[in-house]
Amino acid sequence: MLMLLRDAELYAPEPLGRVDLLLAGGKVAAIGRDLSAPPPGWPCQEHHLDGALVVPGLVDCHTHLDGGGGEAGAHTRVPALQLSQLSRAGVTTAIGLLGTDCSTRSIASLLATARGLSHFGLTALCYTGGYRVPPLTLLGSAREDIALVDRIVAVGELALSDHRSSQPTFDELVRVASDAHVAGLMTGKAGLLHLHLGDGARGLSLIRRALDETELPPRTFHPTHVNRNRSLWAEAQDIVSRGVSVDLTAFPDATGEPTAAEDLVAWVAAGLPLDRLTMSSDGGGCLPDFDAQGELLRMDVGSSAALLHALRGAVALGLPLDQALLPITLNPARLFRLHGKGQVAVGADADLLLLDRDLQARGLIAGGRWLLKEGEPVVWGPFEAPAG
């Protein structure tokens, strides 16, 4: 089935103005003004978008697809994400991971959840591992998991500078990083080590030491939650000059704290390299606050919807839409070597997000299939009830 989208205002993410898009076989087949319709007899759906914004489907590179949490007892284990939680958030590519709980959760279950979501047109991939070292794996080592399991692309989120970390030594850390890097070379996958950073004073010190003392390329290390406190944020701004990409978490806005949108805008205003910045949601993960003794004070749950919330915030603060899109589209796609993702281009995957002028998700096409129309899902997972 062909699909012809008429009169879209395209941000690819670069602004390309008012164009038509032809989709075929799950790919973008043509982009241009006044594209001629396919010959009579060719099956083609035509949709008039009347100047609606079309941007790449979002790439969420840190989401607990199979659920996270459990840090305040088994009753706080977050359930697996439903299809509509991702489609309403405009996400067409999600990379799922395990966090603190590597005991009651498994890579096999995460993999099955990702495979299930992919059934509907999403691209759902996985990390192997979790907070712990040695990493929890499917086949016995992180290297084999990436080398042999198609959907597994990287290692993470391995925890550093956090009371929930398994406190890896330097040698243990770089051994895991080397497994990720070499498996990436063998397969063309991301092959990186995605690192959960806590509030600990050691911050990014182990990563800096790895850059100083090993041959591992800087792209191997991808620290996340770097905006969780100001000293870590300062370290993150510094380490990008050494070639490391860092990941901002779209934490829920909290009074008195800079928002993810403000941090993104400040990053650009400071002249820092925007291509070294990704932003992810921590969807399905718990966002706990602990006291100095490691006792839980309160807990929130992350959502992929935080990505569009941060995008709207950044644009409201004056960041051009094409720049605000980069950390949630092209930048993670490039870092994770996801060719054909994070951009709208001829030959790229037909993953398109339609936004209204308030930057709310109105439509979503994943792999050439509609998942969202008029802001509402048109496809539901088998275990979620359509509203009404």
Report which residue type is found at 68.
G
- Which residue's beta carbon is nearest to the bound Zn ion? 196
| Beta carbon nearer to Zn ion, 157 or 179 | 157
Q: Least distance in Å: CB of 68 to Zn ion?
A: 8
282 part of the active site: yes
List phi, psi (to 5°) of 141. -150, 150
Q: Give the x/- contact pattern for Zn ion in 154-173, rule: CB under 5 A.
A: ---x----------------
Q: Least distance in Å: CB of 213 to Zn ion?
A: 25
Under DSSP, is residue 39 helix (H, G, I), strand (E, B) or coil? Answer: coil
Q: Least distance in Å: CB of 13 to Zn ion?
A: 26
How many angstroms separate the most distant Cα atoms in the chain?
A: 71
Count CB-CB contacts under 10 A for residue 373: 15
Q: Least distance in Å: CB of 182 to Zn ion?
A: 24
Stretch that binds Zn ion, among 102-110, 153-161, 250-258, 325-333 (CB under 5 A): 153-161
Is residue 105 a contact point for Zn ion (CB under 5 A)? Answer: no
Stretch that binds Zn ion, among 110-118, 139-147, 195-203, 299-307 (CB under 5 A): 195-203
Is residue 196 a contact point for Zn ion (CB under 5 A)? Answer: yes
Q: Least distance in Å: CB of 285 to Zn ion?
A: 6
| Beta carbon nearer to Zn ion, 66 or 157 | 157
| Beta carbon nearer to Zn ion, 157 or 349 | 157
User: What's the token pair of residue 158?
Assistant: 């391995």
Report which residue type is found at 139.
L
Long-range CB contact pairs, 311-316, < 8 A, 24+: 311/261, 311/359, 312/261, 312/358, 312/359, 313/253, 313/259, 313/260, 313/261, 313/262, 314/261, 314/264, 314/265, 315/359, 316/261
Residues in the chain: 388
| DSSP 8-state secondary structure symbol assigned to residue 304 | T
Stretch that binds Zn ion, among 72-80, 150-158, 267-275, 379-387 (CB under 5 A): 150-158
User: What's the token pair of residue 214?
Assistant: 């090993």
Which secondary structure element, helix H or strand E, spans residue 6, and what is its range?
strand 2-11
Is residue 64 a contact point for Zn ion (CB under 5 A)? Answer: no
| Beta carbon nearer to Zn ion, 143 or 196 | 196
Q: Give the x/- contact pattern for Zn ion in 308-347, rule: CB under 5 A.
A: ----------------------------------------
> How many residues of this chain interact with Zn ion, rule: CB under 5 A?
2
Report which residue type is found at 116.
G
Q: Least distance in Å: CB of 20 to Zn ion?
A: 41
User: In angstroms, how far is the first alpha carbon of the chain from the final one?
Assistant: 30
Q: How far apart are CA 135 and CA 102, in angstroms?
A: 9
Which secondary structure element, helix H or strand E, spans residue 110, and what is its range?
helix 107-118
Q: Which of residues 277-306 bind Zn ion (CB under 5 A)?
A: none
| Beta carbon nearer to Zn ion, 121 or 223 | 223
Residue carrying the six token digits 């010959």: 39
Q: How far apart are CA 341 and CA 299, in angstroms?
A: 33
| Beta carbon nearer to Zn ion, 189 or 196 | 196
Q: Which of 60, 145, 162, 282 is catalytic?
A: 282
Stretch that binds Zn ion, among 107-115, 189-197, 290-298, 355-363 (CB under 5 A): 189-197
Q: 277-280 and 221-224 as β-strands: parallel, antiparallel, unpaired?
A: unpaired
Stretch that binds Zn ion, among 107-115, 140-148, 194-202, 359-367 (CB under 5 A): 194-202
Residues identified as active-site: 282
Which residues of the shown chain bind Zn ion in the complex (CB under 5 A)?
A: 157, 196
